[in-house]
């Protein structure tokens, strides 16, 4: 089956009659009073269910799905995550998918939605990609409440002695809007506040989003929000959300958002959708709570980490697993022939434009050259003691020789297996070979999970460890500002925190132009930000931005609604 003979993702999603969400929940062993339905097709799960089931049941196997360095089109990691879960169910294992909810920025911008694609999707697709149960809006409200408290405190006398020039807390909006990257607020006279420069970041880059994804229960959420550092005083003392007496109100706004969302795949299997931090800016993983409820209701769980293994997977291991105490049994590294050709120096991929014809012609040499990126991403997984399986996400233009080249490189790099998957066109039936390989890896007992660096390693050394061992850099160059910030954070007692690097997702390096497996580069760190509530420190590498802009032809131009209320153009 080719793309030309298949309906659009939205048409495929609408061709399926979803199971009542209560039936999906009951199959998992959830009680009706542990479920809060949002209509008939989605629901929230109360945290009491996690506590009950963790006391009653063993945990299933834990698989993280990651990838090579992607192109702007993405290489089907979300689709593979869904297809793999469907394939595992097909071969007789109770399997669930855990995914992030997408930001409205990409939905109305370039990338589009993130519910999977073809016959491997989470439904209802429209709800998944838009407001779902309102979690992202609640996160934005909680974040902006803290921002309002800061300026209000200064306006009413500034009893805490906040230095307005050191305010760290921006405002957020879940729409890509480059005009808000740098702004001035408080204009118009004394009653309108204290004039100062600030910025907006996209909501999924908010520390509140990262906090929610890493929280283990309501009390932990409250404590983490209280630890958020909003600003400092003139003498360098940290001012937290607790100091401003806003952490309690922020938590109240998130009391529904902390509950994981339950949806389903096209084939009726469970899908947990919760939180959506970006992988290039934040830690790029769905919530710990969603993974926990999935693990005690299924034999195996496929959880997705953002972008390549140098990004979301490294943060999954070093940040999420460090916080949760959960240990993965295996990893899937998604690769495509077209992306490896691009990494091998052939063709150019631009979102919104037709695929370069050169990428649709057989070129084994380019695949082998570009597969150096795959080899490094396999290494990035196995460094953590986790067995890796490569999923070759098939496209109709792939040739047997190109696929075999990928298999040879993958196995030589240490992957347990490399399997072609046709789940986009065939759903779970197209992922049964992949499912068999993943189950074998997870059951092999070969996982020996270990963190990349210890808590007590100095912050600069942690950054250098990630850059040299995961990215393949020769070293790190810290700006004078970044050096001062690292010293300040360690003086404030945050030197034990893990690192969450913000960098380009399109390269193993900080420079998106460096494809394949670059060498001979150093990573420049221009600034370092503290996320004390989330529990990590974020170095900004290269020109990484925290508020995207819309393209010349935003995807939102194609989205509309018909007189019957049916959404059009969502993809």
Tens-digit pLDDT profile for residues 136-179? 999 999 999 999 999 999 999 999 999 999 999 999 999 988 99
- pLDDT of 539 > 70? The answer is yes
User: Strand 238-240 vs strand 196-198: parallel, antiparallel, or unpaired?
Assistant: unpaired
Query: For the residues of 478-509, what is the DSSP string, one character each?
Result: E-HHHHHHHHHHHHTT-TTS-B--B--SSSSS
pLDDT at 563 > cutoff 90? no
Q: What is the pLDDT of residue 111?
A: 58
Instruction: Using the predicted structure, report yes or no on whether residue 135 has a pLDDT greater than 60.
Output: yes
DSSP 518-539: --S-EEEEEEEEEETTTTEEEE
In words, the CATH class of domain 3-133+258-443 is alpha beta
Whether pLDDT at 213 is above 50:
yes
The CATH number assigned to the domain with range 135-253 reads: 3.30.1510.10
Q: Is the pLDDT of residue 570 over 80?
A: no
- Burial of 218-245, coded b for 16+ CB within 10 Å and e otherwise, reads eebbbbbbbbbbbbbeeeeebbbbbbbe
**Architecture of the domain defined by 459-541:** Roll (3.10)
Least confident piece of the model among 176-185, 252-261, 310-319: 176-185
φ, ψ dihedrals at 558, nearest 5°: -90, -5
pLDDT of residue 13: 85
Give the span between the Cα atoms of 92 and 88, in whole angstroms. Answer: 7
- Cα dihedral 493, 494, 497, 502, rounded to 10, equals -170
Query: Residue 101 is encoded by which pair of tokens?
Result: 């909810």
Residue-level pLDDT at 3: 43
Q: Are 52 and 90 in contact (CB under 8 A)?
A: no
What pLDDT was estimated at residue 453? 98
Q: What is the DSSP string of 278-313?
A: -TTTS--B--HHHHHHHHTTSSEEEEEBSSSIIIII
- Kindly state the DSSP code that residue 355 receives in the 8-state scheme: P
**390 Cβ contact partners less than 8 Å away, ≥ 6 residues apart:** 332, 333, 334, 335, 374, 378, 406, 407, 410, 415, 417, 418, 419
Q: Are 297 and 270 in contact (CB under 8 A)?
A: yes
Q: What integer pLDDT is reported at residue 464 of this predicted model?
A: 98
Helix (H, G, I), strand (E, B) or coil at 179: helix
Please report where in the chains the tokens 């694609």 appear, as a residue. 117
Q: Which of 13-17, 302-306, 545-549 has the highest mean pLDDT?
A: 302-306
Phi, psi of 556 (to 5 degrees): -60, -20
SS3 assignment, position 106:
helix
* Of the candidate ranges 113-127, 256-270, 400-414, the one whose mean pLDDT is the lowest: 113-127
Instruction: Tell me phi and psi for residue 546, to 5 degrees.
Output: -105, 0
For residue 460, what pLDDT band results from cuts at 50, 70 and 90?
very high
Q: How far apart are CA 252 and CA 145, in angstroms?
A: 11
Domain ranges for the chain, please list them: 3-133+258-443, 135-253, 459-541
Name which of 520, 475, 474, 525 is nearest 500 in CA terms.
Answer: 525
pLDDT grade for 5, boundaries at 50, 70 and 90: low
Give the per-residue pLDDT at 86.
Answer: 98
Q: What is the pLDDT of residue 6?
A: 60
pLDDT value, residue 1: 40
pLDDT at 546 over 80: no
Q: What is the pLDDT of residue 30?
A: 98
């Amino acid at each position: 089956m080719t793309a030309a003979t298949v309906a659009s993702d939205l048409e495929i999603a609408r061709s399926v009659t979803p199971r009542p969400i209560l039936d999906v929940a009951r199959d998992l062993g959830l009680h009706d009073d542990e479920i809060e339905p949002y209509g008939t097709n989605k629901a929230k799960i109360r945290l009491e269910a996690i506590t009950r089931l963790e006391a009653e049941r063993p945990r299933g196997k834990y698989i993280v799905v990651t990838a090579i360095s992607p192109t702007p089109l993405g290489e089907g990691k979300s689709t593979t995550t869904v297809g793999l879960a469907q394939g595992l169910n097909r071969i007789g294992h109770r399997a669930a998918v855990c995914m992030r909810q997408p930001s409205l920025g990409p939905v109305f911008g370039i990338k589009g939605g993130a519910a999977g694609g073809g016959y491997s999707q989470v439904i209802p697709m429209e709800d998944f990609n838009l407001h779902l149960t309102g979690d992202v809006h609640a996160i934005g409200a909680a974040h902006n409440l803290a921002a309002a408290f800061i300026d209000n405190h200064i306006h009413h006398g500034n009893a805490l002695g906040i230095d307005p020039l050191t305010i760290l807390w921006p405002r957020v909006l879940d729409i890509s809007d480059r005009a808000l990257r740098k702004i001035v607020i408080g204009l118009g006279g004394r009653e309108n506040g204290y004039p100062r420069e600030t910025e907006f970041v996209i909501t999924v880059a908010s520390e509140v989003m990262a906090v929610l994804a890493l929280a283990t229960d309501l009390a932990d959420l409250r404590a983490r929000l209280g630890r958020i550092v909003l600003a400092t005083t003139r003498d360098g003392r940290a001012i937290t959300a607790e100091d401003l007496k806003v952490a309690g109100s922020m938590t109240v706004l998130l009391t529904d958002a902390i509950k994981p969302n339950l949806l389903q795949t096209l084939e009726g299997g469970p899908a947990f959708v919760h939180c959506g931090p970006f992988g290039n800016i934040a830690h790029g993983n769905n919530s710990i709570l969603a993974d926990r409820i999935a693990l005690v209701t299924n034999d195996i769980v496929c959880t997705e980490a953002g972008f390549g293994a140098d990004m979301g997977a490294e943060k999954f291991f070093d940040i999420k697993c460090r916080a949760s105490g959960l240990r993965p049994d295996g990893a899937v590294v998604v690769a495509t022939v077209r992306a490896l050709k691009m990494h091998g120096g052939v063709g150019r991929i631009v979102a919104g434009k037709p695929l370069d014809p050169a990428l649709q012609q057989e070129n084994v040499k380019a695949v082998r050259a570009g597969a150096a990126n795959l080899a490094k991403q396999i290494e990035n997984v196995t460094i953590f003691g986790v067995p890796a399986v490569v999923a070759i996400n098939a496209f109709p233009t792939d040739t047997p020789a190109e696929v075999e080249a990928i298999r040879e490189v993958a196995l030589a790099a240490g992957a347990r297996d490399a399997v072609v998957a046709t789940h986009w066109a065939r759903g779970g039936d197209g992922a049964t070979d992949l499912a068999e390989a993943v189950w074998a890896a997870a059951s092999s007992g070969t996982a020996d999970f270990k963190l990349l660096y210890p808590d007590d390693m100095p912050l600069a050394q942690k950054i250098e460890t990630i850059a040299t061992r995961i990215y393949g850099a020769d070293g790190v160059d810290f700006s004078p500002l970044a050096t001062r910030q690292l010293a300040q954070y360690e003086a404030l007692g945050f030197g034990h925190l893990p690192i969450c690097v913000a960098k380009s997702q399109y390269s193993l390096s900080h420079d998106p132009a460096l494809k394949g497996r670059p060498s001979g580069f150093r990573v420049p760190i221009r600034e370092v930000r503290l996320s004390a509530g989330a529990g990590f420190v974020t170095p900004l590498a290269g020109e990484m931005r925290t508020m995207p802009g819309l393209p010349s032809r935003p995807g939102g131009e194609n989205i509309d609604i018909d007189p019957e209320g049916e959404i059009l153009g969502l993809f």
